[in-house]
Structure 1
């Protein structure tokens, strides 16, 4: 067997995982790391001279810049071609554009208010901005934490993907090289790092994600430890961008919701609602050959500008289309999570990715596998709710219906691509389908149970204040459009007022007796009796709460 050919000054065989560059003179190939040429620098070289040829012919010849508004800066600047996203001309024009105010769609909340219960009650359909962090559960390094500290905790040899903003193209480099670039007083180009996931590094201990993201996350709740598929790690990203970094309009993979926190610096988000019309426009724009020449914000009715300064956390819901400008050098932390509140929209985003032929690298890892795990768990949840006499919230019923449709489609398309070994797919779909109709229509019995039994239970529930509360219907629909942020605040005020009044009210006193008086015989034991009739919780999920 013939020996593999050797290349480069190091005389090593070809390695597909390492960037290499060909000498235009001797035609030999060289590792970029061996000849001090980074991948993002290679595109600027017109004629490359290796170290040997350099001694004879002089240094490599560089490309000549002819414009500042095209991804290919060698194109003639004759005014015939439009500005492309990410270029310096584009960024200047973006900063001078007029946008609708982000305050029109932002929910400004304190950290302690952003809870799973709040989102389950009111829905998670609008971006949330948090400046008072207490109660959010977010743990971060101090604001003195630098890019060099990131290198120390993560390791300089880690290979990362960086974006050459002016070309909107990505390339690989070592973290140490990026940090060296970041700390230079003069940077020849704008590089942006937005994909450094650090869950498997020492830096992970310095960051804890917001409680609401942790508690609602599908991966945290439903991904089994013994899964054949590797667990997705998408909850902890460190984003390091220099001034004028720009990420064009996108929807986060799999329709994941996102949390961002700006540790230092500033970012500007350009946000677009995920209405059916906007999603259709986005898909058409994403697949168009001149995508980079069209500012998507001009294609929709409204694009909202939201400035996120240092110390602010932003939570973006499922499906929101957004672009991001780094207005000054910035370090931010963020993460992605799938959840039960917007299952239909998550599936819609995933199917759009498939139609757009999005590379696997840019999709949620094992999205279909986690949907099977979720379906299995939600089947048990629906059964338990039914046994306990509590109707599931509308968002869950709608979500399960959407999930059933998706699972059926995937089985027809690719019968066993990401179906976990311990799941019988057809049986699971059948059981879920059987469970859902129970919640579609009001219960109508041909032979009603004895009033003395059924009405007694309802009466005791009412007396004990334990009737299963019906979830507000404000968040049940996936379609345009949900209550505005101002309506959310009105609902929250109303809920607080009702809670206050209920707290002041006697538990049972239907005849106006003060709470200090002894209740009538039989009333005091209503809750105790109900303990024998209703299961109040299963696996730490409380369905009925004491007032």
Structure 2
């Protein structure tokens, strides 16, 4: 087969440009062995993978008379594509189209039926008199479980063909293709694209370039890549995506800015933009174990495709193992699941919702998953998939949010990978609840975590001179993040909040008598 760069015109497009329509310069031209004419591979619908299989090319005009192109002899021994980039960087020999942890992921099996590990919404159990699962019922489930276990709502998206007509839930997740997303957001939009093998972002990607990559056949993709952080709240898609009402009802950032938006914006405080992400994952994408920034909870729904989650609850021992794993030199060499100690009754006080040895969940198009705060999880994609998801802080999970923040400090997570303005938001929560006292008993109990957190931060600021260089940067960032124009002098605010909290808990006790 003859493949090279030529300067004569392609018989199909009449262009002498080396790069034919939609092609790349790896295979600029392909020559017919019979008529000796040269074609752009893209003009005769040949992919790089197909070109690799051809020994003698016959063009569309010659093939009907002389037979199809002659293919190379194929060895019965399968050949593995090696990741030479990783090899050159001194990492272990591995395949380029398979993350080394996928086999471990696939082998994991739940030790109990899924219904005993998470809350699966069932219309026959959770439906009202008309058999419908409503917003109020889903919110009730969230509060009854205290958002400690994953909640799965199967086939609940009316925009998709597998919708089960037994839901009355308020949200809008329209069916969208990658082409439609690219057109709505903009082909020139820069976006972070993860290289699945290294778990690092690749530079110089636009949404247009990503669209073209996503549409390639699996065998024609140079590497496995994944988009997991395209936030679209400032694009045309913002008005087309509506979060579940039950999520908005418990999202404390949404509550604060819904009630106090003008006041906060007058002080230059803007709402963090973390609630509307588009994820686009090609077949065999894999995101290694992680905890979402700030220990945020997550809503997650698939528009097309399929996903698998493997997750471990945020017990004290699991989080310690996670922190150790994060600090290891080469996470690709260690399967996090091997570091997780088995959960056994009596070993340590464990919340009943966390009494498991890991949970594996399959999520199909149309399903809605609500992932609780702090759960350590990895995600595998068995087929090309498009997803909408978002992160949210909530008062039910304050203790976890603050614990994960500490882990992020200890593991030196870069600022760009943290929840935007996390410290500012945490201090605004105390300010907000004193202005708008509409809390459940459990939410009030959860607020107790704020008092030692506030005091600890003030103490760190006071003792900054004794801190090392890294922690001085952290403390200065904390000091600059305090919303003093809203809360006033931090020490006075903490004293006021502590008095308010004491009076509220005392009042609740008297009311219960």
TM range (shorter): 0.5 to 0.7
In structure 1, distance between residues paired with 2:418 and 2:441? 28
Structure number, greater radius of gyration: 1
Q: Does 1:327 align with 2:382?
A: yes
Question: What is the aligned counterpart of 1:195 among 202, 217, 229?
Answer: 229
Indicate how the Cα distance of structure 1 residues 432 and 98 shifts in structure 2: closer, same or farther if over 3 A, else same.
Answer: same
8 Å CA contact 1:130–1:314 kept in 2: the answer is yes
Q: Secondary structure at the match of 1:73?
A: helix
Structure 1, gaps ≥5 residues long: 1-35, 38-64, 386-391, 446-467, 471-547
C-alpha distance in structure 1 between counterparts of 2:366 and 2:231, whole Å? 21
Q: Are 1:311 and 2:311 an aligned pair? A: no
Q: 1:469: Cα distance to partner?
A: 8.0
Question: Is the contact made by 1:71 and 1:167 (CA closer than 8 Å) also made in structure 2?
Answer: no
Change in 2 beyond 3 A, CA 1:75/1:120: closer
SS in 1 for 2:324: helix
Pick which of 244-253 and 204-213 moved more. Answer: 204-213
| Superposed displacement of residue 82, structure 1 | 8.3
| Structure 2 counterpart of 1:208, from 224, 234, 242 | 242
Of residues 273, 282, 289 in structure 1, which corresponds to 2:322? 282
Show the counterpart of 1:396.
Answer: 443
Q: Is the 8 A contact 1:85 1:292 kept in 2?
A: no
Per-residue deviation at 1:367?
Answer: 0.5
Q: Distance in 2 between matches of 1:358 and 1:203?
A: 30
Q: CA deviation at 1:67?
A: 7.3
What is the TM-score normalised by the length of structure 1?
A: 0.63
Compute the displacement of 1:102 (Å): 3.8
Deviation at 1:440? 5.3
Choose the corresponding residue for 1:358, options 395, 404, 413. 413
**Hey, what's the Cα distance between the residues in 1 that align with 2:168 and 2:213?**
37
Aligned equivalent of 1:267: 307
Matched residue SS, 2:486: coil
Q: 1:244 aligns with which of 284, 288, 308?
A: 284
Residue 151 (structure 1) aligned with residue 182 (structure 2): yes
The aligned residue for residue 138 of structure 1 is 171
TM-score by structure 2 length? 0.67
Runs of 5+ unmatched residues, structure 2: 1-23, 26-78, 124-132, 157-166, 343-356, 461-474
Q: How does 1:494-505 map to 2 (within 5 A)?
A: none
The 1:69/1:371 distance shift into structure 2, 3 A limit, reads: same
1:86, distance to aligned residue in structure 2 (A)? 8.5
SS at match of 2:363: strand
Backbone CA RMSD of aligned residues? 2.9
Alignment deviations for residues 183-204 of structure 1 (CA, whole Å, 9 cap, x no partner): 1122121110000000011111
The answer to whether residue 421 in structure 2 is matched with residue 409 in structure 1 is no
Tell me by how many angstroms 1:339 deviates: 1.0
Instruction: Determine if the alignment matches structure 1 residue 123 to structure 2 residue 146.
Output: yes
Q: What per-residue deviation string (whole Å, max 9, x for no partner) do you get for residues 336-366 of structure 1? A: 1101111111111111111111111110000
Residue of structure 1 aligned with 2:486, choices 422, 430, 450: 422
Higher helix share: 2
1:297-327 residue CA offsets vs partner (Å, 9 max, x unmatched)? 2222222211111111100011111100011
**Aligned length, in residue pairs:** 373
Pair 1:73 & 2:87 matched: yes
Q: What secondary structure does 1:319 align onto? A: coil
C-alpha distance in 2 between matches for 1:351 and 1:97: 30
- Counterpart selection for 1:177 from 209, 216, 224: 209
Separation in 2, partners of 1:84, 1:104: 37
